[in-house]
Structure 1
Amino acid sequence: MYQYNNFDHAFVRARSAEFREQVARRLAGELTEDEFKPLRLMNGLYLQLHAYMLRVAIPYGTLSSRQMRKLAEIARRWDRGYGHFTTRQNIQYNWPKLEDVPDILDSLAEVEMHAIQTSGNCIRNVTADQFAGAAADEIEDSRIWAEIMRQWSTLHPEFSFLPRKFKIAITGAETDRAAVKFHDIGLRMRRNAEGAVGFEVIVGGGQGRTPIVGETIREFLPKEHLLSYLEAILRTYNLLGRRDNLYKARIKILLAQTGVEEFTRLVEEEWERIRDGALTLTDAEIRRIERHFAPPALKPAKPDAGFAAAKLEHRDFARWCRTNLFPHKVPGHVLVTVSLKPAGGIPGDATAEQMDAIADLAERYSLGDIRVAHEQNLVLPHVREADLFELWTLLKGDGLAEGNIGLITDIIACPGLDYCNLANARAIPVAQALSRRFADSELANEIGPLTLNISGCINACGHHHVGNIGILGVDKKGEEFYQITLGGSAGDDAAVGSIVGPAVPFERVTETVERIIETYRSVRETGEPFVATVRRTGLTPFKEALYADRQA
């Protein structure tokens, strides 16, 4: 992973010292909350429903075991003993005291971490495929390019006050695991006809009030032009993006207004002006970053007989292996996704003890390497097959051996009204109730691959638009209701879900999802996943099942 140089260390510490002074002025009453707000937001500090919330950046979702231990220490010392991993591959602390935040930032700086650009109208944390650098289906390690973009975008003087927040995602695999079509800019690594590797550039995706699937504006961009092309996109947006209306300020609205052809023309025109300038990436610069991401020296191994025997002997272990493992590029190794979604748990939450346990296990079994997935789980990317049963046994002892990745209980959910002052309804209790209802692993496996996402408001921090089943909390005269959508997807078949009918009250959400699942099981074809069934049949059978009693 990337290691800070002297400049990086000095920069992060100076920023922390600057914020310490700003906090002192706020506590002394020298700054009003309105004056303090833009200063705290530039350092990832929000004021939520009950307390401050600090969002810490985890660039492209990559952590060392040392950094994970630091996150555990912060949770234990300055919060309430846990942290919340987010869909932006960051971590949030929901209960820090304002006077402690400068100490937290200093502590983060000790392990090369910070909270810069996790808020505000700037380029946010660049997200990436959580399996980058290890997956068997990878074209190239996307973290290299995510780091290049991080260095380019951090405190970029031209893009520090954009019309609205700006999110970039990149995937280096044939399969999109980074939801690139739902970002302001999405990048997919591609090979052209000559075998050269470059980028497909997708612009204008997003969720929130106006969910839109991004449009490809360039099929193939050579590597050396990555930053100049991004600069051209950002300049076009910065110049033409609306600043008079918060809800129409994102680049997706600009793209819809100008049309993809005209927007592409404007970007290409700007790019021609700057493409061969200072932003051109030289081979030396690319190699400099690549050295930080050199592949680990793993020895290929034949299939492990003990691993195969353990699966035959231990049914729960075999089930966990079916859902939580992914092929590694080095034979005899796998990527292990550690679920943060136990039955009745809060999606994405991990206690300080669990974070310490993951750090220990990463050092023992995964070269100290940990990833955060945008689905709010953790990944150990370099585990030997021969160590899997031992690892699983230890994970069980830490409450981290749930075998549900990609199944109905692998729920994505925002904090909702339990924490967020923007929310209309709770998301956490809905997720807990649904995970309990479908906790039977036999049932979850029989249902098969299915994404279920929950947001407490239209801002869509729980990505409900792209869930195969999406649940959106809405306020109806002071009561919590939930709108259900079907057919969404964040992957290669990217789509926004369709509303299946009137919103239902809190107490009927679990029943409603049960009926949806029952209907799917009754109308699906052999081996057909949920989202494929919805697209084949349309919403009609689901509406009939949900609202037959009302019509009667």
Structure 2
Amino acid sequence: MYQYNEIDQRIVDERVAQFRDQTERFLTGGLSEDEFRPLRLMNGLYIQRHAPMLRVAIPYGMLAARQLRKLAEIARRFDRGYGHFTTRQNMQFNWVQLPQVPDILAELATVQMHAIQTSGNCVRNTTTDAFAGVAADEIVDPRPWCEIIRQWSTLHPEFAFLPRKFKIAVSGSIDDRAATLVHDIGLTACLGATGEVGFQVAIGGGLGRTPIVGDVIKPFLPARHLLTYLDAVLRIYNRFGRRDNKYKARIKILVKAMTPEGFAAKVEDEWLHLQDGPATLSDEHVRHYADFFTEPDYPAPDSGDFAARRADDLAFDRWVERNTRPQRQTGFRSVILSLKKTGVPPGDITAEQMEAVADWAERFAFGEVRIAHEQNLILPDISERDLHTLWQLARAQGFATPNIGLLTDIICCPGGDFCSLANAKSIPVAEAIQRRFDDLDYLYDLGSIQLNMSGCMNACGHHHIGNIGILGVDKNGEEWYQILLGGSQGNQAAIGKVIGPSFARESIPDVIEKILQVFVERRLPDEAFLEAVQRLGAEPFKERVYAKHH
């Protein structure tokens, strides 16, 4: 895990002092609302529907136990006793008081954390696979590269005021678990003909108002050129990206206008001036960052009575099957702690739960926690011997719902309950769906289904890439919901299609049930939901859902 050096710490401490002064000047009338807005956004502070919201950066989704404890302390002292994990692997506090925000940032700085570049038109938090470093299908550990990108992009003077926000995701595995193809830049690690490490570069993906799957513009970029090539991409975007219309300002619109080939050609021309320049990464640079992510000293594998416990206890076996993943280190697993218990907003976690997870990370592993973009927590490096004990502790804290990858493992934004941009509430709809399908046997029979939900076009709940997507829309001041089918993330990313007119809130669980009935009736043996949708098309689902209208 990356450790701050003296310069890192000083930058963050100075930023806190600077923002404290800016906040005091705003509160005493020395700065206007318009003057203060860009300053607060630079520090991750939004004005939401009910209260200011502070978004805390969690670089590439990695937390030390001490950092998670600090987030718990902040939730207790400055918020309402809980926080919310987002699809960008960050944490949001939804009920902070503006005069106290500098104090919160000062507390974060004591554990090497901050809120820099979690908002504004800059390079946001770089995300990656939550199983980085332990995944069995990993080609390259993406975390050192994420840290290199983080250091390059943080407070970069040339890219502090881009046409719009900018998001980068890195995948180091055969199976893309970082949704790279729906990011402004998606980097997928690969090996060249001689075994050299490099990246496939995809550009112009994104969700929101205009959902687009990114285009690969560079099939193999040698890793040493990563920063110079990123510089070239950002410079082209900075120069040609639209600033006159915020709805057309993302890089995906520019790539579409120029065509991927035209954009790639401009990047190559720009790169000619940068390639092999000062930002070229030496082996020594890369080793320096890789040294922060060395493998811990694993004890000899000891499964204890793990196999016997699985055989004796169906509930435990089911949890192991759904909520753990074998690691490439024999005898160890990564445990997925579900934040999708029915009745709890997806991604929400209490201070008490945070402290429990921090304790487990130190007791059973090496003191590290990961946040997945699916809004669950991951404890890597758990010995199979300890899984039964951890399962019992997780059940007591409400973390052991064995629904990972199933219908009720919903990805969901905070929606109209909190967000001032939202057209509709999302949390009550997610809860209604979870309650309707709270039968685990039925969920297991349905198999893997990703349901994603957003309260507005900004798509913070990634509804476009859910196998089933739900989007809240405003119709004459009332909340209605569109249904999308056929979206997916990963290597075969696809944008779901709207199946027809929107529905009133109370009918959504019925609509989902009808969609699932068609799947159960017409699926082939061992066919997954997404495969059935791709084979059948949307028509049979539409017919069932809209039948009452004919």
**The TM-score by the shorter chain falls in which range?**
over 0.9
Report Cα offsets for 1:49-92 as digits up to 9, x if no partner: 01000000000000000000000000011000000000000000
The corresponding residue for 1:229 is 229
2:197 counterpart letter in structure 1: V
The corresponding residue for 1:389 is 388
Contact 1:299 1:330 in 2 (8 A): no
TM-score scaled by length of structure 1: 0.99
1:222 counterpart letter in structure 2: P
**1:43-58 to 2 correspondences below 5 Å:** 43-58=43-58
The corresponding residue for 2:142 is 142
- Give distance in 2, aligned partners of 1:441 and 1:33: 50
The corresponding residue for 2:354 is 355
- Give distance in 1, aligned partners of 2:40 and 2:140: 37
**1:384-463 to 2 correspondences below 5 Å:** 384-463=383-462
- Give distance in 2, aligned partners of 1:209 and 1:502: 18
- Give distance in 1, aligned partners of 2:536 and 2:299: 48
- Give distance in 2, aligned partners of 1:313 and 1:415: 40
- Give distance in 2, aligned partners of 1:312 and 1:76: 41
**1:532-551 to 2 correspondences below 5 Å:** 532-551=531-550
The corresponding residue for 1:200 is 200
The corresponding residue for 2:299 is 299
Shift of 1:299: 3.4
Contact 2:471 2:483 in 1 (8 A): yes
**1:171-320 to 2 correspondences below 5 Å:** 171-301=171-301, 304=303, 306-320=305-319
- Give distance in 2, aligned partners of 1:314 and 1:478: 51
- Give distance in 2, aligned partners of 1:382 and 1:467: 29
2:378 counterpart letter in structure 1: V
Single out whichever of 154-163 and 433-442 deviates more from structure 2.
Answer: 433-442
- Matched residue of 1:23: which SS? helix
1:351 counterpart letter in structure 2: T
- Matched residue of 1:274: which SS? coil
The corresponding residue for 2:364 is 365
- Matched residue of 1:63: which SS? strand
1:315 counterpart letter in structure 2: L
- Give distance in 2, aligned partners of 1:460 and 1:418: 16
Contact 2:414 2:426 in 1 (8 A): yes
- Give distance in 1, aligned partners of 2:196 and 2:281: 16
- Give distance in 1, aligned partners of 2:109 and 2:352: 22
Contact 1:188 1:200 in 2 (8 A): yes
- Give distance in 1, aligned partners of 2:237 and 2:55: 26
Report Cα offsets for 1:80-131 as digits up to 9, x if no partner: 0000000000000000001110010000000000000000000000001000
Shift of 1:301: 2.1
Report Cα offsets for 1:132-158 as digits up to 9, x if no partner: 011111111101000000000001010
Report Cα offsets for 1:483-515 as digits up to 9, x if no partner: 000000111110000111110000101110011
Report Cα offsets for 1:19-44 as digits up to 9, x if no partner: 00011111112122222111100000
- Give distance in 2, aligned partners of 1:367 and 1:267: 42
- Matched residue of 2:492: which SS? coil
Contact 2:61 2:127 in 1 (8 A): yes
- Give distance in 1, aligned partners of 2:548 and 2:532: 23
- Matched residue of 2:157: which SS? coil
1:439 counterpart letter in structure 2: D
Q: May I ask how many residue pairs the two structures share in their alignment?
A: 550
The corresponding residue for 2:103 is 103
Report Cα offsets for 1:147-206 as digits up to 9, x if no partner: 000000001010000000000000100000000000000000011222222100000000
The corresponding residue for 2:89 is 89
Shift of 1:445: 0.8
1:295 counterpart letter in structure 2: E
- Give distance in 2, aligned partners of 1:31 and 1:545: 57
- Give distance in 2, aligned partners of 1:366 and 1:126: 25
1:38 counterpart letter in structure 2: P
- Give distance in 2, aligned partners of 1:300 and 1:208: 47
Shift of 1:300: 4.7
The corresponding residue for 1:117 is 117
- Give distance in 2, aligned partners of 1:444 and 1:116: 40
- Matched residue of 1:526: which SS? coil
- Matched residue of 1:138: which SS? coil
The corresponding residue for 2:154 is 154
- Matched residue of 1:492: which SS? helix
Shift of 1:343: 1.2
Single out whichever of 218-227 and 306-315 deviates more from structure 2.
Answer: 306-315
Shift of 1:366: 2.0
The corresponding residue for 1:167 is 167
- Give distance in 1, aligned partners of 2:38 and 2:239: 22
Single out whichever of 304-313 and 280-289 deviates more from structure 2.
Answer: 304-313
2:432 counterpart letter in structure 1: A
Shift of 1:449: 0.3
Shift of 1:456: 0.2
What 5-or-longer segments of structure 1 have no aligned partner?
none
Contact 2:451 2:467 in 1 (8 A): yes
- Matched residue of 2:297: which SS? coil
**1:512-531 to 2 correspondences below 5 Å:** 512-531=511-530
1:76 counterpart letter in structure 2: R
Single out whichever of 32-41 and 354-363 deviates more from structure 2.
Answer: 32-41
- Give distance in 2, aligned partners of 1:290 and 1:305: 33
Report Cα offsets for 1:508-538 as digits up to 9, x if no partner: 0111001111111111111111111000000
Contact 2:304 2:384 in 1 (8 A): no
Contact 1:300 1:330 in 2 (8 A): no
- Give distance in 1, aligned partners of 2:71 and 2:383: 26
Report Cα offsets for 1:207-260 as digits up to 9, x if no partner: 001000000000111110000010000001100000001111000000000011
The corresponding residue for 1:494 is 493
- Give distance in 1, aligned partners of 2:107 and 2:527: 49
- Matched residue of 2:159: which SS? coil
- Give distance in 1, aligned partners of 2:33 and 2:247: 24
- Matched residue of 1:430: which SS? helix
Shift of 1:305: 5.2
The corresponding residue for 2:62 is 62
Shift of 1:364: 0.8
Contact 2:406 2:447 in 1 (8 A): yes
